[in-house]
Amino acid sequence: MNSTPNEQVPLADDSIIDLQEVSIFYSGKIAVDKVSFPIAKNKITSIIGPSGCGKSTLLRSLNRMNDFIPGVTVDGMVTYGGQNLHGSEVDPVEVRRCIGMVFQKPNPFPKSIYKNVAWGPGINGYKDSMDELVEQSLRQAALWEEVKDRLHESALSLSGGQQQRLCIARALAMAPDVLLMDEPCSALDPISTAHIEDLLFELKSRYTIVIVTHNMQQAARISDHTAFLETGKLIEFGVTDQIFTRPQNQRTEEYVTGRFG
Amino acid sequence: MSTPDKPAFQLDYGDLKRRHRKAKIFANFCATITWMGVALLAVLLAQVSIDGFKWLDWQFISSFPSRFPAKAGIASALVGTLWLISLIAIISIPIGVATALYLEEFNSKNRLNRLIELNISNLAGVPSIVYGIIGLAVFVRQLGLERSLLSGALTMSLLILPIIIIASREAIKTVPMSIRHAAFALGATRWQTTWAHVLPAASPGILTGVILALSRAIGETAPLIMIGGLTYVAFFPEGPMDSFTALPIQIFNWVARPQQEFHELAAGAIIVLLAVLLLMNAAAIVIRHKAEQKFK
């Protein structure tokens, strides 16, 4: 790192999550090294970088999903609503209610489409009309028209792209503050990918989205802010346009122009 | 090193032929061994059928044992077996599945838990007569349950618990981690995730394991004789504290007698026992199939 990146880039003033010197270790081996940047409210922040640079690990630290990987320890602060998410007094279940996640491979429950969406709100004590919530969530995920006549069929009968949108609908049904997406399009064909990118634009007005992606065009197309990681270090963070057209760092330039990675 | 227009290694077709021949010989060897086993089983079944079929009638099923072969039947043994198997299921399924869930889902991998896991695998290999001795010492004597159905069921439950636990753990392991992560990411607790997703997805495998374990219990003789299942019972047990007999005990008893007729009666009882076993296994297959359909 040649500078503290977030000082030189004009960013939206209200950040919803702040990463401060976040380091993540796998059984003592460092995977993410003192990364700091803010995540702006109602914006799309993308995290890019070559394979194995720690971007997914970093993303998972934002809703405590690293808890399920044995041997992972997190240093530093991830501040959300004035609280360090990794503080001992924080209940990870509570964190995950507010910060939802969509995974790399579509992972619908082997149940009906309806139950996939309704289960999360159900166990968290949602009291209003479940039918309405399911419809609204599926509409937000641009899936309603395709599945409205087969809500009680198995979610596994859907295509990969539809399954991923169902997973997005399932996450949206929880009305999360932040939606984390771990390479959500990597298992999908270009048409499904385009569907989901359109969807993210729509969702931006209501949700804050953090997306990890391998696809640089995707990051350039959809995100407002971009963080570039290499071997666990934050190389550059800034407004997406700037990262892709006038990067400050040599490595960033090489990466975004496709010279390595 | 080879020149560019030549492959890097020379194919030796003679050698390839020899390798194919070797594969064939081995395949034939395996087939022979398999069919030898099947043939042995067929001879056994044929022998039992020839001996036993002529005794198989309603009178045989519905009569109590008797000194006179013509009047003897397996009613009390069959009812005893059904009692036993129901009690074993009630006792062993909840404990076994709960243990498997604890070890797979809730367990932090510390030394004590690893010791438990190791011991469960060892227990699965302990001879059944040893469980009989434990049953006699603990349930019959120490806890004063006498030579009752309950003592028998508890002893048999001990015997098959390791099998149920191991089968259930394997079934739980096959549930993809991504399903659990999906549930956790929706703000579910460990218990909600397990109850709503892991257990249903694992249930076909668990059920198969449970039914196979129960089939094992139905055929076990040694522990029941050890804790003193009676050999002559001319009444139906009416509760778990009653004394009892069971099909394997009845068979054992009949085989031990000198008269040929009783040996044939034993063969008849074996046919009934096999029928019950086959029914249970068929049930396992049907249940598994149904459950798998549901998750497709």
ipTM for the whole complex: 0.88
Q: Which residue of A has its CA nearest to B178?
A: A107
Distances (CA, A) of B226 to A201, B78, B110, B221: 73, 19, 37, 9
Q: Which two tokens stand for residue B112?
A: 């004590």
- Residue B100 structure tokens: 């498997």
**What pLDDT is stored for residue A4 in this prediction?**
42
Contact A167 B180 (CB under 8 A): no
Instruction: Evaluate whether B77 touches B66 at the Cβ level (below 8 Å).
Output: no
- With beta carbons less than 8 A apart as the criterion, state whether A16 and A39 touch: yes
Q: Is A167 on the interface with B (CB under 8 A)?
A: yes
Of B177, B185, B201, the CB nearest to A110: B201
Residue B131 has pLDDT above 60, yes or no: yes
Q: Is the pLDDT of residue B260 over 70?
A: yes
**Segment among A9-23, A137-151, A244-258, B183-197 with least mean pLDDT:** A9-23
Q: What is the mean pLDDT of chain A?
A: 89
Structure confidence at residue B168 (pLDDT): 95
User: Which pLDDT band holds residue A189 (cuts at 50, 70, 90)?
Assistant: confident
- With beta carbons under 8 A apart, name residues in chain B contacting A154: 295-296
Q: Please enumerate residues of B whose Cβ is less than 8 A from a Cβ of A.
A: 109, 176-189, 192, 196-197, 201, 295-296
State residue A69 phi and psi, 5-degree precision. -100, 120
Cα–Cα distance between B68 and B66 in angstroms, integer?
5
From chain B, the residues in CB contact with A110 under 8 A are 179, 201, 295-296
Q: A20 in helix, strand or coil?
A: strand
Q: Please answer yes or no on whether A107 and B186 come within 8 Å at the CB atom.
A: no
Mean per-residue pLDDT for B148-158? 91
CB burial of B44-74 (b: ≥16 within 10 Å; e: otherwise) equals eeeebbebbeebbeeebeebbbeeebeebbb
- Give B2 or B231, the one with higher predicted confidence: B231
Q: Which segments of chain B does DSSP mark as H helices, in order?
A: 13-52, 58-62, 75-101, 111-123, 128-135, 149-173, 177-185, 190-193, 199-219, 222-227, 247-255, 260-295
Token pair listed for B239: 């509760």
Residue of A nearest to B105 (CA): A68
Question: What angle (nearest 5°) sits at the alpha carbon of residue B67, between those of residues B64 and B69?
Answer: 80
> What pLDDT was estimated at residue A2?
42
| Chain B residues touching A109 at Cβ < 8 A | 179, 182-183, 197
For residues A195 and A161, the answer to whether their CB atoms sit within 8 Å is yes
A65–B181 C-beta distance less than 8 A: yes
Residues of A in contact with B197 (CB under 8 A): 109
pLDDT of residue B1: 47
A172–chain B Cβ distance below 8 A for any pair: no
Triad A86, A88, A94: Cα angle to 5°: 70
**Of the candidates A8, A46, A50, the residue with the CA atom closest to the CA atom of residue A232:** A50
pLDDT at A9: 45
Q: According to the per-residue pLDDT averaged within each range, which of A21-35, A194-208, B282-296 is highest? A: A21-35
List, in order, residues 6 or more apart from B49 with CB less than 8 Å away.
B267, B271
Within 10 angstroms of residue B176's Cβ, the number of other Cβ atoms is: 13
Mutation for A interface: B105, B175, B186, B197, most A CBs within 10 A? B186
Q: Say if the Cβ atoms of A68 and B192 lie within 8 Å.
A: no
**Residue B114: its pLDDT value, please?**
84
What pLDDT does residue B239 have? 80
